[in-house]
């Protein structure tokens, strides 16, 4: 092996480790964003807060939004706007009753 090949392998390994680290951080960000949103909604609607269920739902929804963010950020934005509108209308109907 020549010296250039060894250096390119090291650069590729470093790049892939950084990409994995970056993707993990993005997923964690999505997870906490969903977790906080669900928690706020549950508290605002005066519903029982089951942290285990909220963590499970946050993990699932966070993974879906993580994939959508890498697929198409506009699509993810549209999904989040739809969720916000439906949750807002649900909360308003709860407060009106």
Cα distance between residue 82 and residue 97, in whole Å: 23
Record the tokens describing residue 50, joined without a space: 């089951």
> CA Rg, the chain, in Å?
20
User: How much of the chain exceeds pLDDT 70, in percent?
Assistant: 67
Which of 13-17, 74-78, 80-84 is predicted with the least confidence, judged by mean pLDDT? 13-17
Report pLDDT for 22: 86
The pLDDT tens digits for 7-51 are: 555 555 555 666 888 889 989 998 998 888 888 888 877 778 888
The mean of the pLDDT values for the chain is 76
- Identify the band that residue 65 occupies on the pLDDT scale cut at 50, 70 and 90: confident
Cα distance between residue 39 and residue 56, in whole Å: 12
């Amino acid at each position: 092996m020549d010296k250039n090949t060894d250096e390119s392998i090291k650069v590729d390994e470093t790049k892939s480790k950084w990409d994995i680290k970056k993707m993990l951080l993005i997923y964690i960000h999505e997870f906490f964003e969903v977790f906080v949103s669900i928690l706020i909604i549950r508290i605002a609607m005066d519903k029982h807060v089951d942290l285990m269920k909220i963590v499970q739902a946050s993990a699932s929804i966070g993974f879906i939004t993580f994939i959508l963010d890498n697929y198409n950020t506009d699509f993810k934005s549209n999904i989040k706007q739809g969720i916000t509108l439906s949750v807002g209308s649900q909360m308003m109907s709860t407060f009106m009753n």
